[in-house]
Amino acid sequence: MGKTALITGATSGIGEATARLLAEEGYDLILTGRRSQRLRALKKELEKGFRIEVLPLSFDVRDRQQCEAELGSLPEGFREIDLLVNNAGLAAGLEHIDKGDPNDWDAMVDTNVKGLLYITRIVSGMMVRQGRGHIVNIGSTAGTQPYENGAVYCATKHAVHALSQAMRADLLRSGIKVTEIRPGMVETEFSVVRFHGDRERAGDVYRGIVPLTGEDVAEAVVWAVSQPAHVNVDEIVITASQQAGAYYTYRKEE
């Protein structure tokens, strides 16, 4: 019997890479994101390449009613979800707290915390009824190591860290595993989004460094969910070789 995974934020970066690796493992996929064209293209690619079924759902995890409507009306073959990867998230802005943009704050809190909660509330209920499942939350090293100019982003990822630990306790008796993966620097669209499309500034974040890729983090997801039934991987911290946490980075001269 095949397994089904739901991945949020699957249109790029870690989410897209995770979709490809899980497809290779034989998972049928429910992929969510706001960019419907990318979802359709990924569906076509994965179904052709791996002979699996893909259900693309284009909606915004920040909208609770959309989450409930889309996941409350899944087709028959997608109503049992074995794996949830809460990947949708973003950073917006990089300023001291007194200069931060409240619109950026809303975007981060609504996506990174509330969106994760909306999706988890629905899917965890399905898993409890099934008596099985695995939830993987994509956090960040910022979830335990706050840094200057990143107060609100760090706060949201601290929330993901706390929620992951609390979910583990809440779902323990239901036989549902919970894993948090906390990457450091990953070169995806993350910094482009943080700097509102300024690609030059985004590129400077990774100057002199070989950062992680989305595929590196996706490999960690697949490893965690491939463990035997009696093994739960509580958390994984993964960083580039040139980054020792949030505070120490070695940049090679170009």
Interval 239-251 mean pLDDT? 92
Interval 172-183 mean pLDDT? 97
* Catalytic residue chosen out of the listed positions 147, 153, 206, 250: 153
Task: Kindly list the domain boundaries of the chain, sorted by start residue.
Answer: 4-184+214-239
**Whole-prediction pTM:** 0.95
CB 94 within 8 A of CB 195: yes
pLDDT in tens, 73-96: 999 999 999 999 999 999 999 999
- Indicate if 153 belongs to the active site: yes
Closest to 151 (Cα-Cα) out of 96, 197, 75, 78: 96
CA distance 97 to 80: 43
Q: Which fold has domain 4-184+214-239?
A: Rossmann fold (3.40.50)
pLDDT band at 137, cuts 50/70/90? Answer: very high
Q: What pLDDT sits at residue 254?
A: 64
Interval 234-251 mean pLDDT? 94
pLDDT in tens, 180-196: 999 999 988 777 778 78
Minimum mean pLDDT range among 35-39, 75-79, 178-182, 244-248: 244-248
| pLDDT over 70 at 1, yes or no | no
